[in-house]
Structure 1
Amino acid sequence: MNLSTIPVPPGAPTLDRARGALLGLAVGDALGAPAENLTPEEIKARWGRVEGFVLDEPAGTDDTEYTIFSALLLIEHGHQLTPAQVEDAWRSRIANGAEGPFRGAGFSERSTVENLRRGLTAPQSAQHRHAWSDGLVMRAAPFGVFAAGDPLEAARLIAVDGSVSHEGEGIYGGMAVAAAVAVAVAGADLDTAVDAAFAVVPEDSWTARTLARALAAVREERHASDATTPQGREAVERAIRRAAVVRGYPWTDLAPEAVGLAFGALAAADGDFRTAVLTAVNMGRDADTTAAVAGAVAGALSGADAIPAAWRSAIGPAGGSCLAWVRGRHVLEVADALRQAAEPAAQIGGTR
């Protein structure tokens, strides 16, 4: 797939789609958090089927907080973002900063922090056993929002950010999501967003192969089953998991797997926000991240108004559970600031 063949709409990105991307991510994160690391069978035993928030006080996880962290770096440095600036922020605001009760988040984040504390610098700081994790995938949406309409630039910028914490497939997963969000915020449809994801990663990469298998599984199973019925819906979800999940591996945070599950959920839902996010949640695994990615892309495709009102209203400012530095920041304010940093304020105002 060549980026030059992807038809990116010429119109200006809208704040509604930018807000939809980040709010959709936060909603997916909060919906998926209780199901993280569970199997579909365990989810069914606990809740039947997740159809909304299962906690009285839903909240985002490291997915939302690191999204805000990366977004604020983009707002500060824009297209001139460098690995040194990212590394400096990790040192001052994470490694040497105040941590929330979850102590900085997942495997890739903790491994990166420890490498930085040992004195390693980028890209050596990303050389650890979890460099292929979905920790960059989860914070990819701001790069698409900032570089709306330019998937190649969105992919380049997230690779800069990821050079401190990830390598190889860990970076490819982030690039795929950032590129998809970039064209979706600009008004593209789901097929074009998928094409953009394929276009920015190596054709023979684990990420590209898993994404292709997941999408093929959706097409094949929907042809064989009636996906409008509960039985057909579950059959499609099983097919996506068979295509994307690495069985026998003890952890659920693989970047290629997360991309395959999230985009499989989007394809199964034809981009519909509610269906895509709930499909991702009910497939389990790293459910907060896969639902966050599905929510980011679906929100970018349709805008914030496509997110159910009760879900939108449940999202408040970040609580600082992992990164104390982002406490009090709201994803909607961050989305507005990203678009203002990317384009003149007058042009943004005309697209509301």
Structure 2
Amino acid sequence: MTTTRERARGALLGLAVGDALGAPAENLKPSEIRARWGRVTGYVTENPAGTDDTEYAIFSGLLLARHGSALTQAHVEAAWHEWIADRAEGPFRGAGFSERGTLENLRRGLAAPISAQHRHAWSDGLAMRAAPFGVFAAGRPAEAARLVAIDGSVSHDGEGIYGGQAVAAGVAAAMAGASTIAVVASALAVVPEDSWTARSLRRAVAVAHRGERAVRSAVVIGGYPWTDLAPEAVALAFGAYAAADGDFPEAVLTAVNMGRDADTTAAVAGALAGATQGASAIPTAWSAAIGPARGSCLPSMAGHHVLDVAELLVPGEGGKWGEGLVVPESVSELLRRDTPAPFALAADTDTEAPV
């Protein structure tokens, strides 16, 4: 039997492994990935490491360990000041567009949720740090979604929040031993049915049995220059997870080889699959490369290891996570809605269909 602790370690270590595997492929097309490495089947750099995705996940995990279910918007805002905004930043300069906009607003004296009013509130910056909430609220997807929305209120809005909620709820369900399809259904249950996030997620999972080319073509926004759209990235991650039926190596490598925001999509797929299968499912060669955070983006996170954060977020083995886990609607009905019409796949996997 896979224990809660094993799943927690799998979720956060899986996030860091996926992040490190996907980082070199970030912002690349599948054709560019093939030209450089063929098919990515492992680390392609000598010193693999997590990026801002891992460091922000550690940040949120430590914040959650400090406050638990009593977490408030004021706690989150104070932590952003204490650990990021009021300190010198690392070479990443605060990470992606949503983080940059948030930090600029906080430094101008704007408070949450006004601090999230910038041009990239729809990014996947919350989704990348959402897994700790699912670990903490194992078996309680609605609670995971509630807590991650509080965290996200400082930096995100709308679809950016929904993306984080889908990931947190999915991890929470996986932590309780839910099946792959029940994990997807739990994610869909916590976001608005007619949201862009829900539509993209349903489309990805509906074609997942056809593989990564079909998933990518179903949800990638053709012609848009940025790859950090939360509805797209979250759908690619869940699509990779569903295509692999929760298998860790396959889920993560599927996400990596689809390109786009590959560090984030592989991190999310890794968190979902790691929570599903536990840390033992992660190849030793991959997990051994993950050390304490280097602080490349957030110097305040240097020295913290994702496995230490996992230990902080789980109860003792006598805990009773998973009681009362309910998937509120039939899975088949959730996936039938807004299923894309049949489409022809081009010979090149770079084909991107508008949503």
TM-score in terms of structure 1 length = 0.89
The residue number in structure 2 matching 1:347 is 318
Amino acid across the alignment from 2:237: A
For the pair 1:336 / 2:311, whether they are aligned, the reply is: yes
For the pair 1:26 / 2:16, whether they are aligned, the reply is: yes
Q: 2: distance between equivalents of 1:215 and 1:322?
A: 33
Q: 2: distance between equivalents of 1:146 and 1:13?
A: 14
Q: 1: distance between equivalents of 2:311 and 2:221?
A: 37
Helix, strand or coil at the partner of 2:39: coil
For the pair 1:246 / 2:236, whether they are aligned, the reply is: no
Amino acid across the alignment from 2:208: V
Mapping for residues 278-317 of structure 1, pairs under 5 Å? 278-317=253-292
Q: Could you tell me which of 68, 83, 89 is aligned with 1:93? A: 83
Q: 1:348 offset after TM fit, Å?
A: 5.5
Q: 2: distance between equivalents of 1:157 and 1:349?
A: 20
CA contact (8 A) 1:13 1:187 kept: no
Q: 1:237 offset after TM fit, Å?
A: 1.6
Amino acid across the alignment from 1:283: M
Q: How many equivalent pairs are there?
A: 321
For the pair 1:68 / 2:66, whether they are aligned, the reply is: no
The residue number in structure 2 matching 1:146 is 136
Mapping for residues 170-209 of structure 1, pairs under 5 Å? 170-209=160-199
Amino acid across the alignment from 1:326: M
Q: 1:149 to 1:346 in 2, by over 3 A?
A: closer
The residue number in structure 1 matching 2:112 is 122
What is the root-mean-square deviation of aligned Cα atoms in Å? Answer: 1.5
Q: 1:216 offset after TM fit, Å?
A: 1.4
Q: 1:13 offset after TM fit, Å?
A: 5.7
Mapping for residues 250-261 of structure 1, pairs under 5 Å? 250-261=225-236
**1:216-259 Cα distance to aligned partner (Å, 9 max, x none):** 1224x3xxxxxxxxxxxxxx222111111111111000000011
**1:189-237 Cα distance to aligned partner (Å, 9 max, x none):** 1111111001000000000000011111224x3xxxxxxxxxxxxxx22
Q: 1:94 offset after TM fit, Å?
A: 0.7
The residue number in structure 2 matching 1:163 is 153
CA contact (8 A) 1:13 1:185 kept: no
Helix, strand or coil at the partner of 2:87: coil
Amino acid across the alignment from 1:284: G
Higher fraction of helix = 1
Amino acid across the alignment from 2:90: G
In the TM superposition, structure 1's runs of 4+ consecutive aligned residues that sit over 3 Å from their partners are none
Amino acid across the alignment from 2:250: T
Q: 1: distance between equivalents of 2:105 and 2:92?
A: 19
Q: 2: distance between equivalents of 1:12 and 1:117?
A: 44
**1:267-318 Cα distance to aligned partner (Å, 9 max, x none):** 1111110001000000000000000000000000000000001101010000
Structure 2 unaligned regions, length at least 5: 322-355
The residue number in structure 2 matching 1:269 is 244
Q: 1: distance between equivalents of 2:208 and 2:293?
A: 34
Q: 1:347 offset after TM fit, Å?
A: 2.1
TM-score in terms of structure 2 length = 0.88
Q: 1: distance between equivalents of 2:147 and 2:3?
A: 18
The residue number in structure 2 matching 1:55 is 45
Q: 1:64 offset after TM fit, Å?
A: 0.2
Q: 2: distance between equivalents of 1:271 and 1:62?
A: 25
Q: 2: distance between equivalents of 1:193 and 1:347?
A: 24
CA contact (8 A) 1:94 1:323 kept: yes
Q: 1:88 to 1:69 in 2, by over 3 A?
A: same
Q: 2: distance between equivalents of 1:92 and 1:253?
A: 26
The residue number in structure 2 matching 1:318 is 293
Amino acid across the alignment from 2:123: S
Q: 1:334 to 1:75 in 2, by over 3 A?
A: same
**1:302-345 Cα distance to aligned partner (Å, 9 max, x none):** 00000001101010000000000110001011101111xxx3x4
